[in-house]
Structure 1
Amino acid sequence: MDGNAGNPKGNTLVGKTLCNPIIIYLLDMKNLPRVLFVDDQAEVLEELKNHVSELCEPYASLSAEEGLEIFKKNGPFSIVVSDQILPGVNGSEFLAMINRRDPYCSTMLLTGHANYSDAMRAVNNGHVFRLLEKPYSPDSLKEAVEAGIRQRKLMESEKVLLQETLVGAVNALTDTLATVKPLFFGRAQRVKRLAGEVAMYLDFPHVWQVETAAVFSQLASITLPETEAENVFLRKKLHPHVLKLVGNFPTVTDHLLGHIPRLGEVREIIDCLMVSPKPYQTQEKTLIYQAYEILNTVLEYDYLEVAGHESEIILATLKGGNKRFNPKVIEAMSLLLHKSKTRYLVNELPFEDLKVGMRLAENLHLETELLVAPKGTDITKHFLQVLHNYDTCYEKSPFPKLIKVFVRD
């Protein structure tokens, strides 16, 4: 009987190729964790790759410069293993660069007795997950790679849990406080959205930290008397006693965040924003400073937009004004704002026709002139419930007959 009988024409590969153990191995390689080895000796790299080929998909590089290119092009990597002695930068400096690009990557340093003190310094600085002493045994290398893969999975699981829990809590907090302090937490919503988009566009590794810092940067506003809140929001001239209150914002914010675990980096971003960026202009704090640059630029954009300036004028001011802002952040904002304009249309709808996903295109006031929500507020289920509550408290609708909103095209 013909071995291909019953198979549709052209499907002979199903019976033969996919049963080939080499093909199966190559297909499985796609699911293996990736490990990058960096050493200036080709024979050492080949040996390292052969020892762990069953555990991972190994990559190799002869220099730190080439290693960074491979890391960027073929990542994410579970592990990067580097020799301490490399042309150009040394191994611990190279792994510090890797750590800044992907803090969840397990980094390992191959070192001999001669440079052991440098290696220990790298471990103490948090740039290295494990030291591998030369000469190493194949078994110790395999054990280290297995531990590094487990560490990456553990850190990623923790990251997902933290983000899902914290982001959900921050969203709930923002929605709630937006009804109490609509000016400041309307700003928090707008800045969180745009800063998050900019961070994603620039491949910032911790977008949630930027978004969380955007919300918490407005948190101290809850301590302001209502009579002074608008003056602070609009950056008007303030009385000395109000200036003193605003001067305490960093302390108030840090005290409030101090009770929430795992927010160390967010607190540093806000400290950088509200106190001084100078202590964070170091290699170790590169990510904190980058987050600050994003958040600071977007906040300045929001201040100027609220003041009534057009988007093009604001972007030109940010580029050429007295204050210095990162040109890459401004360019990213410009592109994203342009895309947003093409995605949304302005429409005027009665209160009853508002839907989740729309966005206010103007400040929403009651007939009494009370501000319910500022321009740019996202229409969520919570927000619609707030509007419904207002509506039920009046004999006739307290809202304008038509509300101007942005609607997705």
Structure 2
Amino acid sequence: MAERILLVDDEPGVLDGLRRTLATKYAVEAVLSPAEALKKLEHSRGGSNPFAVVVSDMMMPEMNGSEFLTRASEINPLAVLILLSGKADVRSTIAAINTGRLFRFIAKPCSPRDLQKAIDEALAAYHASKAESDLLEKTLAGSVKVLAQALAMASPEIGGRTNNVIELVGGAARMLGQSHSWELRMAARLSQLGLVSIPPEVLHRVEGGIEGTAGEKSMYREHPAVAKDLLAEIPKLERVAAWIGGQVADATAPPPKSETDPDQRAELQRQIFTCATEFLAAKDIGEWPPECAARLTAGGRYRTDVIQAILKTAQERDKAPDAVSVTINQLKVGMRFVRDVKATTGATLVRKGDTVTDAVRVRLQNFRTYVGVVEPLRVTPVKETF
């Protein structure tokens, strides 16, 4: 797939000449205004083939090239930026070079050969930057997955709650076209990280809907802030940390205030994540999903389509018309328990509604060997994961 080049110049003749020069070698889109160019950048973000290079004239009536490229960089941080400028614009151009994330400045008029050479070098820089970014994202994703599995193995309560968030977020994300978001996936998997600071007996009471002391309630409400502090210093997880810090831990407490993200797509993802945590908190106090949806709709803090997507996901996951009986050896990752799993001593090992993970399977196999587990187990088949 050819890399896409975006050209911006308010002079139709100049723009057409640039497009003809480059179209034989690159996938070029040419626009006459910065506003239109920003719309194209926004539309391409998150897609399979975003713009790799943005080439802009300096002097334009709506906004100059420096201002435009600054905004373009905010929309697509990986795009490589090239500025075209005449001699009369030298002062403004120097300011753009000093303050912007500019890859190359080319004086006008320029030869087709010089322009193509600059774009080839820009594409090489784009490939290197994208490879580094992809590697970092994959490394983060793998690390977070291992951490989530370790948490689930150490604490079934934390693992169960994490899986609940993952399923609610994943279902809503698919309905709203946001399942591509790695940040949303990371937020869901790390959402309950702060619970490691809470004694197991307190978590047992929360899971069981038992009223705790004022100190225990305060401790529990602080778990999002604990997770935020743990994650805040990790590169590329700043937004994820902010989302997790703004999640709702207790439906009986006033919801935390959170800044609306000016990035519309990121704001939609934040709402999906936070709304899912509100549904989870509502479950802790025995509030049914339709009641929670009605309360959140009246509150006006979330888009209606977000609330309805979470509600639909919650209702679908609570249904179990296709439940089957299996042994521990037949468990597959992604299955959901439709009744509590108990040891032969009567202790509850896994709660109804929790999802089968590698950690859960290992735990049940160990209990069967050394204590005994009541079988068969009742589960629903594997469903699409997030």
Q: One fold, TM greater than 0.5?
A: yes
Q: CA-to-partner distance for each residue in 1:205-248, whole Å, 9 max, x for gaps?
A: 97222222223231121121122223455787543433553465
CA–CA separation in structure 2 for the residues paired with 1:196 and 1:174? 16
TM alignment of 1:132-151, pairs within 5 A: 132-135=105-108, 137-138=110-111, 139-151=113-125
Indicate how the Cα distance of structure 1 residues 185 and 54 shifts in structure 2: closer, same or farther if over 3 A, else same. same
Of 159-168 and 203-212, deviating more is 203-212
For residue 197 of structure 1, report the CA deviation from its aligned partner.
Answer: 4.8
User: What whole-Å deviation, never above 9, does each CA across 1:255-310 have from its counterpart, x for those lacking one?
Assistant: 533675543333233344479655x4364x66664443221111112223455554
Q: Contact 1:345 / 1:408 at 8 angstroms: preserved in 2? A: no
Query: Could you tell me which residue of structure 1 aligns to residue 354 of structure 2?
Result: 377
| Structure label with greater radius of gyration | 1
Aligned to 1:299: 277
CA–CA separation in structure 1 for the residues paired with 2:356 and 2:151: 15
Can you list the C-alpha shifts for 1:18-43, whole angstroms capped at 9, x where unaligned?
xxxxxxxxxxxxx3211011222111
Q: What SS does the aligned partner of 1:281 have?
A: coil
Q: Which moved more, 1:161-170 or 1:74-83?
A: 74-83
**Residue type of the alignment partner of 2:108:** P
2:228·2:242 contact (CA, 8 Å) conserved in 1? no
- Report the counterpart of residue 113 of structure 1 in structure 2: 90
Mapped contact 2:152–2:359 kept (Cα < 8 A) = no
Aligned partners of 2:256 and 2:292: how far apart in 1? Answer: 24
For 1:26-175, list aligned pairs within 5 A: 31-68=1-38, 70-71=40-41, 72=43, 75-86=49-60, 88=62, 91-92=65-66, 94-95=68-69, 98-111=72-85, 112-113=89-90, 115-116=92-93, 119=96, 123=100, 128-130=101-103, 132-135=105-108, 137-138=110-111, 139-175=113-149
Aligned 8 A contact 1:102 1:205 in 2? no
Distance between the aligned counterparts of 2:378 and 2:35, measured in 1? Answer: 56
Per the alignment, do residues 351 and 293 of structure 1 end up closer, same or farther by CA in structure 2, a change over 3 Å counting?
same
One-letter identity of the residue aligned with 1:64: P
Contact 1:200 1:207 in 2 (8 A): no
Contact 1:109 1:132 in 2 (8 A): yes
Match status 1:192 vs 2:192: no
Please, what TM-score do these two structures have when normalized by structure 2? 0.77
Any conservation in 2 of the 1:107–1:130 contact (CA below 8 Å)?
yes
2:251 aligned residue: none
* Contact 2:206-2:284 at 8 Å conserved across structures: no
Quick one: which amino acid aligns to residue 260 of structure 2?
Answer: Q
Shift of 1:95: 4.3
Q: Contact 1:360/1:377 (CA < 8 Å) preserved in 2?
A: yes
Q: d(CA) in 1 for partners of 2:55 and 2:322?
A: 51
Query: Residue deviations 1:171-198, cap 9 Å, x none?
Result: 2222222233222321212212432454
Q: Which residue of structure 2 lines up, in the alignment, with residue 281 of structure 1?
A: 260
The question of whether the paired residues in 2 share the 8 Å contact of 1:64 and 1:87 is answered with: no
User: Conserved in 2, the CA contact under 8 Å of 1:35 and 1:78?
Assistant: yes
User: Residue in 1 aligned with 2:363?
Assistant: 386
Amino acid at match of 2:10: D
TM-score for both structures, normalised by structure 1: 0.74
1:215 aligns with 2:202: no
Please report how far the alpha carbon of residue 392 of structure 1 lies from its aligned counterpart in structure 2 after TM superposition.
0.5
Partners of 1:187 and 1:88 in 2: how far apart?
A: 50
Instruction: Indicate how the Cα distance of structure 1 residues 215 and 60 shifts in structure 2: closer, same or farther if over 3 A, else same.
Output: same
Residue 405 (1) aligns with residue 384 (2): no
The corresponding residue for 1:364 is 341
Instruction: Kindly provide the amino acid, as one letter, of the partner of residue 317 in structure 1.
Output: R
Query: Take 2:176 and 2:59, find their aligned partners in 1: how far apart are those partners?
Result: 32
Alpha-carbon distance in structure 2 between the residues aligned to 1:306 and 1:243: 12
**Are the counterparts in 2 of residues 100 and 287 from structure 1 also a CA contact under 8 Å?**
no
Deviations 1:46-69, CA, capped at 9 Å, x for gaps: 222244345422111122343355
- Aligned equivalents of 1:34, 1:252: Cα separation in 2: 42
| Structure 2 gap ranges (5+) | 249-254
**Counterpart for residue 8 of structure 1:** none
Of residues 197-206 and 354-363 in structure 1, the stretch that sits farther from structure 2 once superposed is: 197-206
Report deviation, 1:44.
1.5
Matching residue's letter, 1:349: V
Q: CA RMSD in A?
A: 3.8
Give the aligned residue type for 2:227. Answer: T
Task: Provide the C-alpha distance between the structure 2 equivalents of 1:48 and 1:156, rounded to a whole number of angstroms.
Answer: 26
| Preserved CA contact (<8 Å) 2:246 2:274 | no
Distance 1:381 1:184 in 2: 14
CA distance in 1, matches of 2:77, 2:147: 28
CA deviations on 1:63-106 (whole Å, 9 max, x unpaired) are: 23433554437952212223344454554555455445443333
Q: What is the total number of aligned residue pairs between the two structures?
A: 370
CA distance in 1, matches of 2:357, 2:302: 32
User: Which residue pairs with 1:22 in the alignment?
Assistant: none
Q: Which runs of 5+ in 1 are unaligned?
A: 1-30
Deviation at 1:393, TM superposition (A): 0.9
